[in-house]
């Protein structure tokens, strides 16, 4: 208990005069009752400490100047005020002289953890007559307050202050070690990770926890103590994305060459959050494809992004598997898609490969390749294709005149055909007879006019007619077997049907009437005059003549970044062989063209070009109707592709990364 006292100066003077008067009176016999004098001071008795929210009592005892407790009611005099500090309240807060008898008690209550000072002050005075101080401590643990920032950036650490409070909001500075019962949890659309493996202790009622924000969203941190079931939760914290780190490129699993498909670009930070402000912070994206086709478009502007993502319609021309890479303009941030399978588009045309020579009336093999408008091989033509019609730009008859889709394997059909005429011709394939006529008409329009053939004799007409009838019989047999082939299930059945068709053609050939013996050589009678009496005409050959000899008209180079194309332009279709080799400590690509001749002086022996991939180009005649073109390749590690167009052989040279 705390005891304090204090005397009033005016009361002390009054009591001194009183005792002086008493001593001057004459003595009298009997008992004398001595009463306490007037109020001199107060003695205050209070507890050593108190708890917030719980009231405590302070005893106020009045004394005279000699230390006698005043137990009686005092005459009228000064009143006193009870004053308390801070947020405390005192009951009663005023003392009257009639309250002095035997002392009295003041009840103090305070919800704030602080030091409360109680003072007794005479009304109208400023100096307290008596004071006492009582420390008020926090009540028992009731809850926690958690302080976090309003917003943070993903990947940048932040702190959370956990403050232990009693029910009146006082910080529990006297908190014991309660870490074993503390659990920390987070909730919301975002995610954070704790930096501290072990909880730090409470110091002056506070614990500081470190967190690292990861996923963008909104998060709340909560804490709970198991013994007292005290808990608390922070305000909502927003996690914003960090700067751009890479892109995520998403495309379909498959698409059609030349047709648009959707590509989704997402700007991402280091923690795989979408950078939602890329529209204003980014520079745009370059798009590149792993194949050798054309990707369109090749750029995506930053303003096309919405909330960190852009949906772009793109197309690609070359069939095959490819990946698409998106790279930030002027910076190294990039991303690559999963493989996208580009399949060939709708059938557009056919490429027919034939031998250089054949014998009239006898079968010879050809290969028909189905391609789309970008020259991609349609490998599943046997599943989605239609019947292919065959014809020629010659004057003879071809058998068979069509190819079933079932004959195709991997986009190509190998067919044995026969032709009735001994002449140079080209085999043409199309999806309809109308298309055949258009192609033949276009070729005849472009081709130079051929000299009119010499008239045939009646014997030659009859023999030619017999050959045509035999070929027509073979064609009918082939069509019948092909119809059977289409009705079979599975590739094995189709192959057996094809073999039966071949045998039927052979049987039809055997049943055809034999060719008549060649007529006697015709003799031309000279009109008059001396000289040779008769000149024999050359005998007609039964072997199909070679194709028309074409001319090599120009050699040119087109180059772009990382690749070059050498164009060997001719006046018409030619055959070629391609190979590589080393000579004079240099690497070469060799292309042999036939049947080809040079077009006058248009193409020289040595062609100089300015290229990073191709050095000298040498042209030489290596045989009758054969030209060899040698291309020097400069860097190591290149690859090349040779393809044939209607009037050119194209050598595409690619630098491997």
Alpha carbon distance 261, 447 (integer Å) = 41
By C-alpha distance, which of 509, 513, 422, 510 is closest to 474? 509
Q: Cα–Cα distances in Å, from 159 out to 147, 151, 216, 223, 269?
A: 8, 12, 17, 14, 22
Say what the pLDDT of residue 646 is: 64
Task: Give the DSSP H/E element, type plus range, for residue 467.
Answer: helix 458-487
Predicted confidence (pLDDT) at residue 16 exceeds the cutoff of 50 = no
Say what the pLDDT of residue 479 is: 60
Sorted by where each starts, the structural domains of the chain and their CATH numbers stand as 2-23+33-137 (2.60.40.10), 141-240 (2.60.40.10), 246-343 (2.60.40.10), 348-445+467-482 (2.60.40), 550-655 (2.60.40.3500)
Per-residue pLDDT tens over the stretch 634-643: 877 788 888 8
Residues forming a β-bridge with 320 = 342
Say what the pLDDT of residue 264 is: 97
Residue scoring higher pLDDT (553 or 154): 154
Alpha carbon distance 95, 93 (integer Å) = 7
At 33, list the tokens: 């009752």
Say what the pLDDT of residue 205 is: 93
Task: Give the DSSP H/E element, type plus range, for residue 492.
Answer: helix 491-511
Say what the pLDDT of residue 377 is: 95
At 372, list the tokens: 């789309």
- Residue for token pair 């005998």: 539
Say what the pLDDT of residue 125 is: 83
Q: Cα–Cα distances in Å, from 593 out to 160, 276, 574?
A: 80, 59, 7
Residues 6+ apart with CB under 8 A from 321: 339, 340, 341, 342
Alpha carbon distance 641, 178 (integer Å) = 76
**What average pLDDT score do residues 614-627 get?**
87
Q: Provide the pLDDT confidence category of residue 482 given band limits of 50, 70 and 90.
A: low
Predicted confidence (pLDDT) at residue 540 exceeds the cutoff of 50 = no
Per-residue pLDDT tens over the stretch 150-188: 999 999 999 999 999 999 999 998 888 888 899 999 999
**Model-level pTM?**
0.54
What share of the chain has pLDDT > 70, as a percent? 79
Predicted confidence (pLDDT) at residue 450 exceeds the cutoff of 70 = no
Per-residue pLDDT tens over the stretch 283-336: 999 999 998 899 999 999 999 999 999 999 999 999 999 999 999 998 889 999
Lowest mean pLDDT among 215-229, 361-375, 589-603: 589-603
Say what the pLDDT of residue 543 is: 34
Residue scoring higher pLDDT (507 or 583): 583
**Helix (H/G/I), strand (E/B), else coil: 398:** strand
Q: Cα–Cα distances in Å, from 361 out to 119, 121, 158, 413, 480?
A: 136, 140, 90, 21, 20
Say what the pLDDT of residue 246 is: 96
Lowest mean pLDDT among 44-48, 197-201, 494-498: 494-498
Alpha carbon distance 351, 644 (integer Å) = 9
Per-residue pLDDT tens over the stretch 109-148: 999 999 999 999 988 888 888 999 999 999 999 999 999 9
**Helix (H/G/I), strand (E/B), else coil: 406:** helix
- Are 571 and 551 a contacting pair, CB within 8 Å? yes
By C-alpha distance, which of 369, 399, 374, 396 is closest to 385? 369
At 591, list the tokens: 């292309």
Alpha carbon distance 113, 519 (integer Å) = 136
Residues forming a β-bridge with 122 = 80
For strands 231-233 and 217-225, give the pairing: antiparallel
Residues forming a β-bridge with 61 = 43
- Report the range out of 219-233, 527-541, 618-632 with the highest average pLDDT: 219-233
Q: Cα–Cα distances in Å, from 503 out to 290, 355, 426, 507?
A: 48, 22, 26, 6
Say what the pLDDT of residue 654 is: 85
By C-alpha distance, which of 349, 416, 361, 355 is closest to 388? 349
Name the CA dihedral angle for 416, 422, 425, 427, rounded to a multiple of 10 degrees: -20
Q: Provide the pLDDT confidence category of residue 536 given band limits of 50, 70 and 90.
A: very low
> What do you get for the CA distance between the two ends of the chain, in Å?
92
Say what the pLDDT of residue 73 is: 65
- The 3 state secondary structure assigned to 549-583 is CEEEEEEEEEEECCEEEEEEEECCCCEEEEEEEEE
At 60, list the tokens: 């106020």
By C-alpha distance, which of 314, 299, 325, 308 is closest to 266? 308
Residues forming a β-bridge with 619 = 629
Predicted confidence (pLDDT) at residue 539 exceeds the cutoff of 90 = no
Alpha carbon distance 512, 508 (integer Å) = 6
Alpha carbon distance 267, 628 (integer Å) = 53
Q: Provide the pLDDT confidence category of residue 529 given band limits of 50, 70 and 90.
A: very low
Average predicted confidence (pLDDT) for the chain:
82
Lowest mean pLDDT among 268-277, 393-402, 598-607: 598-607
Predicted confidence (pLDDT) at residue 531 exceeds the cutoff of 50 = no
Predicted confidence (pLDDT) at residue 413 exceeds the cutoff of 50 = yes
Predicted confidence (pLDDT) at residue 520 exceeds the cutoff of 70 = no
Ramachandran class of 497: left when φ > 0, alpha when ψ lies in -120 to 50, beta otherwise: alpha
**Helix (H/G/I), strand (E/B), else coil: 4:** strand
Q: Cα–Cα distances in Å, from 373 out to 256, 293, 351, 408, 647?
A: 12, 13, 12, 19, 17
Say what the pLDDT of residue 608 is: 85
Predicted confidence (pLDDT) at residue 565 exceeds the cutoff of 60 = yes
Residue scoring higher pLDDT (238 or 3): 238
Residue scoring higher pLDDT (74 or 160): 160
Per-residue pLDDT tens over the stretch 239-270: 999 999 999 999 999 999 999 999 999 999 99
Say what the pLDDT of residue 1 is: 59
Q: Provide the pLDDT confidence category of residue 403 given band limits of 50, 70 and 90.
A: very high
Eight-class DSSP state of 452: P
Residue 427: count of CB within 10 angstroms of its CB: 19
């Amino acid at each position: 208990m705390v005891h304090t006292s204090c005397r009033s100066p005016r009361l002390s003077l009054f009591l001194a005069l009183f005792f002086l008067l008493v001593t001057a009176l004459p003595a009298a016999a009997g008992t004398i009752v001595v009463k306490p004098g007037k109020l001199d001071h107060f003695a205050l008795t209070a507890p050593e400490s108190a708890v917030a929210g719980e009231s405590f009592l302070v005893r106020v005892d009045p004394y005279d100047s000699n230390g006698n407790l005043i137990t009686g009611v005092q005459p009228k005099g000064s009143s006193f005020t009870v004053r308390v500090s801070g947020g405390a309240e005192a009951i009663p807060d005023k003392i009257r002289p009639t309250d002095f008898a035997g002392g009295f008690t003041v009840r103090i209550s305070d919800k704030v953890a602080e030091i409360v000072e109680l003072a007794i002050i005479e009304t109208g005075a400023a100096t307290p007559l008596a004071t006492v101080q009582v420390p008020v401590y926090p009540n028992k643990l009731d809850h926690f307050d958690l302080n976090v920032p309003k917003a943070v950036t993903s990947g940048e650490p932040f702190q959370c202050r956990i403050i232990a409070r009693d029910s009146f909001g006082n910080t529990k500075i006297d908190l014991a070690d309660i870490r074993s019962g503390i659990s920390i949890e987070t909730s919301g659309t975002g995610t954070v990770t704790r930096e501290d493996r072990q909880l730090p202790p409470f110091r002056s009622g506070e614990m500081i926890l470190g967190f690292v924000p990861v996923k963008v969203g909104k998060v709340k941190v909560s804490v709970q103590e198991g013994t007292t079931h005290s808990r608390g939760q922070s305000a909502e914290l927003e996690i914003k994305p960090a700067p751009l780190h890479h892109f995520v490129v998403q495309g379909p699993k498959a698409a059609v060459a030349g047709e648009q498909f959707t590509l989704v670009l997402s700007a991402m930070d280091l923690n795989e959050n979408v950078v939602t402000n890329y529209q204003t912070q980014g520079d745009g994206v370059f798009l590149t494809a792993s194949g050798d086709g054309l990707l369109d478009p090749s750029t995506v502007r930053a303003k096309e992004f919405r909330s960190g993502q852009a949906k772009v319609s793109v197309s690609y021309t070359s069939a095959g598997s490819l990946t698409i890479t998106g790279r930030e303009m002027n910076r190294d941030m990039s991303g690559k898609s999963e493989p996208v399978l580009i399949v060939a588009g709708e059938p557009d045309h056919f490429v027919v490969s034939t031998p250089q020579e054949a014998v009239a009336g006898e079968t010879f093999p050809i290969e028909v390749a189905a391609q789309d408008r970008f020259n991609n091989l349609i490998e599943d033509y046997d599943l989605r294709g239609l019947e292919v019609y065959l014809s020629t730009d010659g004057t003879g008859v071809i058998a068979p005149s069509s190819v079933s889709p079932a004959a195709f394997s991997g986009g190509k059909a190998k067919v044995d055909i026969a032709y009735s005429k001994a002449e140079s011709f080209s085999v043409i394939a199309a999806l309809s007879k109308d298309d055949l006529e258009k192609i033949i008409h276009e070729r005849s329009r472009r081709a130079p006019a051929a000299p009119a053939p010499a008239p045939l004799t009646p014997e030659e007409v009859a023999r030619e007619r017999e050959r045509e009838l035999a070929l027509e019989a073979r064609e009918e047999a082939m069509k019948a077997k092909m119809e059977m082939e289409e009705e079979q299930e599975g590739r094995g059945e189709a192959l057996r049907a094809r073999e039966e068709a071949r045998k039927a053609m052979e049987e039809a050939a055997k049943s055809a009437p034999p060719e008549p013996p060649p007529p006697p050589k015709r003799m031309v009678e000279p009109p008059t005059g001396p000289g040779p009496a008769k000149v024999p005409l050359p005998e007609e050959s039964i072997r199909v003549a070679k194709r028309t000899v074409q001319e090599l008209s120009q050699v040119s180079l087109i180059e772009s970044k990382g690749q070059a194309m050498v164009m060997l332009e001719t006046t018409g279709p030619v055959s070629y062989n391609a190979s590589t080799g080393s000579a004079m400590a240099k690497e070469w690509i060799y292309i042999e063209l036939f049947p080809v001749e040079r077009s006058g002086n248009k193409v020289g022996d040595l062609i100089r070009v300015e290229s990073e991939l191709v050095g000298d180009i040498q042209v030489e005649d290596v045989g009758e109707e054969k030209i060899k073109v040698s291309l020097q390749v400069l860097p190591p590690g290149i690859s090349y592709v040779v393809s044939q167009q209607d009037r050119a052989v194209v050598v595409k040279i690619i630098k491997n990364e």
